[in-house]
Amino acid sequence: MAAPIRTSDLIDEKKMISNIRRSWGLFYRNGSVVEIRIFLREAVRSNLWTGYGTTLSGYFDDVNAVTNLVVAIEKSVGPQATYITLNPVDKRLASRSYNRFTAAKRGEGASDKDVSRRAWLMIDFDPIRPEGIAATEAEVQESLERAELVHGELTVRGWPEPVFCFSGNGYHLDYCLDAGNTDLMRDLLRETLLGLQLQFSDKAKKTDLGSTIAEGQIGVKIDAGVFNAARIT
């Protein structure tokens, strides 16, 4: 298994450039168009994007444009988060903001119907904790161990090797697909994730703060809600 792609590598510019190029090469075919969304800490104006707002959106098919702009924005304003669609979108969407970023309003991003094909299945291992709380090192380690367990089980069942990724609060396994974006495929992926969740997730209880687990224990759940085609990560 290749070394995990770690979003924490984005802290260092050289690692950031390497991480972006490596990720692009692993996840996207030549000619694929994907949407990238950047969430700013506050609305500001800049010559790095068009418009004014806290959410930036762009449609890219050029890794050089992605690298140059994402690195420049990271250095300039230190955004809150950067996300990308795992699956490629309809190339016509590029006319909205082609290889550049534009301030976008809520709901203006790519939707499930805009995805051209199902390229990936993401199995996300999320440490169980109150909402808005970063995972501890121990929780991240538990997420890693659960991901490795599921990876081993699926390998025995004949699944191919996944891309192994670290998100900052946990790990996810991304399995390559080559399928249509159909209702049947959506339902199949949802049922697959629900089955894995049932088999490999720890039980949590609901509180006013969200899902949690008994004090002194560490739990991990598989997120069964990431089956939608336009999922960003």
pLDDT digits (tens, 9 = 90+) for 140-177: 999 999 999 999 999 999 999 999 999 889 999 999 99
Task: Specify the pLDDT at position 208.
Answer: 44
| Percent of residues, the chain, with pLDDT higher than 90 | 82
In angstroms, the CA 192 to CA 45 distance is 43
Structure pTM? 0.86
Q: Where are the alpha helices (DSSP H) in the chain?
A: 13-27, 63-77, 137-156, 183-200
Q: How far apart are alpha carbons 184 and 175 in whole angstroms?
A: 18
The pLDDT of residue 207 = 43
3-state secondary structure of 228: coil
Pairing status of strand 118-127 against strand 220-222: antiparallel
Dihedral class, residue 7 (left if φ above 0, else alpha if ψ from -120 to 50, else beta): alpha
- Average of per-residue pLDDT across 125-135: 91
| pLDDT of 102 strictly over 80 | yes
**How far is Cα 5 from Cα 115, in angstroms, rounded to an integer?**
24
Share of the chain above pLDDT 70, in %: 90
pLDDT computed for residue 193 by the predictor: 98
| Mean pLDDT, residues 91-115 taken together | 96
Confidence of residue 12 (pLDDT cuts 50, 70, 90): confident
Q: Which pLDDT score is estimated for 71?
A: 97
| Six token digits for residue 216 | 């002194």
Question: Which two three-digit tokens encode residue 18?
Answer: 């390497």
The yes-or-no verdict on residue 202 having pLDDT over 50 is: yes
